[in-house]
Each structure stands twice: as structure tokens, then as C-alpha cells.
């Protein structure tokens, strides 16, 4: 990633910039309180990328408890990437990869044993990003999105 891009934790003052990027880049949008709730509960996994003090990307996640896969046994904590986006002009510079790396460190800090997310089956940049980071498709959710598109659930074991 370029030296001019800085990653840091989300602060409440960043909310409008993050909402702007979310609406510009993704059809899945949320109310203010949804962003703030994730920030308050999981500050280590809500990260923004800044270039020349302008926010160019974000990642926000949630820690959940669920049944283990990978033979880990019992209930485990899972890091769920709820949303990640980078402004079009900031793409293909490694920003999303850097955001994912920091968020995954936050998930490990919260004792998550695996990381998962849903991604549209036609989202080639997204699927390529996650594959590069070692995620695998674990299943397909038929008609997951409000427009009827299917989602891949992609998962990565954390250590
Ligand atoms: N085509 C092919 N591979 C790609 C592409 C692309 N357009 N974009 C990223 N990749 C893969 C490549 O392997 C890339 O490594 P490389 O550049 O060395 O080849 C790797 O991902 C890392 O790319 P980054 O530069 O870190 O990714 P970027 O900062 O451009 O952001 C993102 C990728 C977040 C998917 C961006 O395209 C975006 O914001 N898209 C719209 C929003 C979106 O789809 N978000 C994900 C939805 S799923 C969810 O939020 C859980
Ligand atoms: Zn999700």
C-alpha cells in the first residue's frame, strides 16, 4: 500500500464520510445507529483508510458466537466482515487488503477463531480480494440479497 495512505480506527466524526462511501460503493446501506453500534461494540475492527486526510475506504465488522466448522468443536467466536468499500479512485493500491489485515488482527484480539463474510457471486473484485487473503467459498446462499442475487459465504481460519 502507498505510504500516503494511513489506516486508523474509526472515530464518530468519520461517520458521514463512511456513510458516503458506503452509499456510493454498495447497494447494502445502513442507518447511522448501525455504524455507531458496531463502532461502540467492536472498535478494533472498524477501521478507515485516509489519503491526504480524506477518507477513501472503511471496513466494519462484528464478532458473533456460532457453531464451529473446521473441526474446531463447540461454540466459537467468529469475525464477520459486515461491510468493506474503497472509493473508485483509491482502488487497486492495496487499501482493501490492508483494511482486511488490520480488521483480522482486531478479530484475533477479540479471540475470534475464524473470519467470514458474504459477497455477491458476481462481485469479481471482492471474491478475488478474499481469495488472495486465503478465504474459501464455504457455501452459497440462494437469493440472499434484496434484489435476489446469491451470495457466497467465504471463510478463513484465524490463528
Ligand atoms: N479485479 C481483480 N482482482 C481484484 C480487483 C479487481 N477489480 N480488485 C481487487 N482485486 C484483488 C487482487 O488480487 C488484488 O491484488 P493485486 O492488486 O495485487 O492484484 C487484491 O484483491 C487486493 O486489492 P486491493 O487493491 O487491496 O483492493 P481495493 O482497495 O481496490 O478494494 C474492493 C477492493 C473493496 C472490493 C473494492 O473494489 C470496492 O470497494 N468495491 C465495491 C464495494 C464492494 O464490492 N465491497 C465488498 C462487498 S462484500 C462485503 O462487504 C463483505
Ligand atoms: Zn454479512
pLDDT, tens only, 37-49: 999 999 999 999 9
Mutate to test the pocket of ligand 1, among 21, 96, 120 (most ligand atoms within 8 A of CB): 96
Residue with cell 463447540: 74
The C-alpha cell that represents 27 in the structure block: 447497494
Average pLDDT of the chain is: 96
Give the three-class secondary structure for 133. Answer: coil
> Over 80: is that where the pLDDT of 32 sits?
yes
What integer pLDDT is reported at residue 159 of this predicted model? 86
Instruction: Identify the architecture of domain 5-157 in CATH.
Output: 3-Layer(aba) Sandwich (3.40)
Q: What is the mean pLDDT of residues 92-120?
A: 98
Q: Measuring from atom 19 of ligand 1, which residue has the nearest CA?
A: 92
Nearest to 133 by CA among 106, 94, 78: 94
Task: Report which protein residue has its CA nearest ligand 1's atom 30.
Answer: 91
Angle at CA of residue 153, ends 60 and 93, nearest 5°: 50
Confidence class for position 68, pLDDT limits 50, 70, 90: confident
pLDDT band at 82 (very low <50, low <70, confident <90, very high): very high
Q: Is 115 in the pocket of ligand 1 (CB under 6 A)?
A: no
Output the residue whose Cα is nearest ligand 1's atom 2.
125
Amino acid at each position: 500500500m502507498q505510504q500516503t495512505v494511513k489506516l486508523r480506527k474509526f472515530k464518530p466524526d468519520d461517520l458521514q464520510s463512511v456513510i458516503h462511501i458506503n452509499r456510493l460503493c454498495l447497494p447494502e446501506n445502513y442507518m447511522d445507529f448501525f455504524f455507531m453500534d458496531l463502532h461502540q461494540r467492536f472498535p478494533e475492527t472498524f477501521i478507515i483508510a485516509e489519503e491526504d486526510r480524506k477518507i477513501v475506504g472503511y471496513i466494519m465488522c462484528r464478532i458473533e458466537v456460532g457453531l464451529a466448522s473446521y473441526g474446531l468443536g463447540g461454540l466459537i467466536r467468529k469475525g464477520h466482515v459486515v461491510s468493506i468499500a474503497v472509493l473508485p479512485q483509491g482502488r487497486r493500491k492495496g487499501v482493501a487488503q490492508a483494511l482486511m489485515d488490520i480488521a483480522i488482527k482486531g478479530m484475533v484480539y477479540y479471540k475470534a477463531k475464524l473470519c467470514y463474510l458474504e459477497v455477491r457471486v458476481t462481485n469479481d473484485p471482492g471474491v478475488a480480494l478474499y481469495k488472495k487473503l486465503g478465504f474459501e467459498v464455504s457455501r452459497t446462499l440462494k437469493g440472499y440479497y434484496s434484489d435476489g442475487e446469491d451470495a457466497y459465504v467465504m471463510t478463513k481460519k484465524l490463528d
